Amino acid sequence: MQIQHLLFSQGFGTRRICAGLVEQGLVEVEGQWVTDPAHTVVAQGLRFRVQGVPWLYQERAYLMLNKPAGYECSHRPGAWPSVYTLLAPPLRQRGEGAVPGVQAVGRLDQDTTGLLLLSDDGRFIHRMTSPRHHVPKVYELELRDPPTPQQVSRLLAGVAIERASEPVRAAACSITGERAMQLTLTEGKYHQVKRMLAAVGNPVERLHRSRIGALELPGDLAPGQWRWLQADDLQALG
């Protein structure tokens, strides 16, 4: 692959900009400065630098982000900043189309924190969000009042929420503290967790997603930080 095409595929700008980066001597490949945009490289596994910033070629982007509160999962946010501003610029620009860059795999409300996946692989996004695949998502809840065994039973049996044609139920539910609960869902309706707890009379005050499939949010990934998903991470997602 020509180095100018590789840079474009990774989100470093338009084709003209990528060619210009090379011609200006701003691209380093395997310790050597490259100035010919048509210079050919083996893309797979290639490590390179653009303006001194290290990068690893990724044919498709699969990321995890520890989403902090106060960010919207939207490219066109309203009252809050976009979660995409937390990512490196090339991740927001890679690919072509009306909405370039990686996309959130499902959404978390602006006040919800925790594990958020992002990708530019449409098939992966569909598989992870489709209710037919039943990918479990685990949430840690802080509630207004102490939860009761009766509320747990109702959530497991199914509760009626507005705009849902049938009762929605938790795949798993347990009391984890004085005002804390852990809830597992295999579907993702709008504001589902909050609406389910409101239906049993115990509103959610804080909501955090800790796991998707068997992939847990790493303890060393601080709020606002992201990292690439590795092969074992993707396997843990099922």
d(CA 197, CA 206): 12
Query: What angle is formed at CA 156 by the lines to CA 150 and CA 157, rounded to 5 degrees?
Result: 90
Q: Return the closest-CA partner of residue 81 out of 210, 228, 224, 220.
A: 224
Whether the Cβ atoms of residue 5 and residue 38 lie closer than 8 Å to each other: no
Read off the DSSP letter of residue 83: G
Pairing of strands 32-34, 27-29: antiparallel
Give Cβ neighbours of residue 58 (< 8 Å, ≥ 6 apart). Answer: 10, 228
Is 109 marked active-site?
yes
Catalytic residue among 36, 109, 121, 232: 109
Pairing of strands 137-143, 204-212: antiparallel
Q: Kindly list the catalytic residues.
A: 109
